[in-house]
Amino acid sequence: MNPLNPVIQLEQISYRYVVEKSPVLDELDFVLHRNDQIGLVAPNGSGKTTLFFIIMGLIRPDQGRIKIFDCPVSTEKDFIKVRKKIGLLFQDADDQLFSPTVLEDVAFGPLNLGKSKEEALEISRETLEMLNLKGFEERVTHKLSGGEKKLVSLATLLAMKPEVLLLDEPSAGLDEKTKDHLINILKELSLTHLIISHDTGFLNALTNQIYHIEGGKIVN
């Protein structure tokens, strides 16, 4: 852990879905440093996904400050920059893959980053090859199996060359073989990552610290 290099800093974050009810996140403090690999375990409905959405700026917290790469972020414009550096893997791969073919889906991110078509295609092919997905280029996304969808989703993120990965239950619904493959890929990448999972074996393989969310706060 390198205390001098914080990547994501959350201070006093609170968020509630329904005004009358108690908040899901209650004055939560959290810091993710460069090269940290943290697992997040918490019961359903305890605000894990909400936390990821707040980091990505998909929802705004009721209160609190967010600093990413040591820069305070609060407006949509700030978050647009954040999203180029942080990749979020959704729980349901069908939400993530929306283009008709795999290659188009993987190229979507690089194109949004302003890459030319040729560059985007090259990056996409490289990324697919890296994940052992060569030959998947022209496959139709909705016809992939669950495991394939998960890997292609990961490829769509990696094509954007993120510095940090946020993974929301990446191992859910995968068989052992695919899970091992995913573990190997993530180990090899050894990016800074934060993983939400209920799968202890998966977390042990990929993280060096495990945190919990209790009463809207993150505890070690």
Partner 1 sequence: MWFQHKSRIKRRIRSVFTIQRIFRCCLKDMIPDSSIENRSSFDKLDPRVKIVSAVCLSIGIALMNTIESLITSLVISVLVLVMARFNIRLVFKRLKVLFRFLIMLWIILPLAIQGVTYGKGFILDFNAEGLLLALKITLKSVSILFVFIALVGSVKPAIFGHALLKLKISPKLIFLFLITYRYIFVFEREYKKLKRAAKIRGFVPRTNLHTYRTYAYLFAMLFVRAFNRGEKVHQAMICRGFEGNFYSLHDFDIKRPDVIFAVEFVVMLLFIVFVEYSTL
Nearer to partner 1, 7 or 121 (CB): 121
Whose Cβ is closer to partner 1: residue 84's or residue 212's?
A: 84
> Of 99 and 217, which has the nearer Cβ to partner 1?
99
Contact partners, residue 191, CB within 8 Å, separation at least 6 = 162, 163, 164, 165
Residue with Cβ nearer partner 1 (71 or 80): 80
Neighbouring-strand partners of residue 219: 212
One-letter identity of residue 138: E
> What is the smallest separation between the CB atom of 79 and partner 1, expressed in angstroms?
9
| CB distance 40 to 211 below 8 Å | yes
Q: CA 183, 189, 190, 195: dihedral to nearest 10 degrees?
A: -50
How far apart are CB 73 and partner 1 at their closest, in Å?
14
> Strand, coil or helix: what is 57?
coil
Residue 98, CA atoms < 13 Å, CB-side half-sphere: 5
CB of 216 to partner 1, least distance (A): 22
Residue 131 C-beta: closest distance to partner 1, Å: 17
Q: Which residues contact partner 1 (rule: CB under 8 A)?
A: 53, 56, 58, 80, 83-84, 87-88, 90, 92, 94-101, 103-104, 107-109, 111-113, 117, 120-121, 140-143, 156-157, 160
Of residues 40 and 121, the one with the C-beta less far from partner 1:
121
In which order are the strands placed within the sheet that holds 164-168? 86-89, 164-168, 192-196, 37-41, 209-214, 217-219
The least CB distance from residue 7 to partner 1, in Å, is: 17
User: Least Å distance between CB 80 and partner 1?
Assistant: 7
Distance of alpha carbon 25 from alpha carbon 204, whole angstroms: 25
| Nearer to partner 1 (CB atom), residue 89 or residue 133 | 89
Strand spans (E) along 85-185? 86-89, 164-168
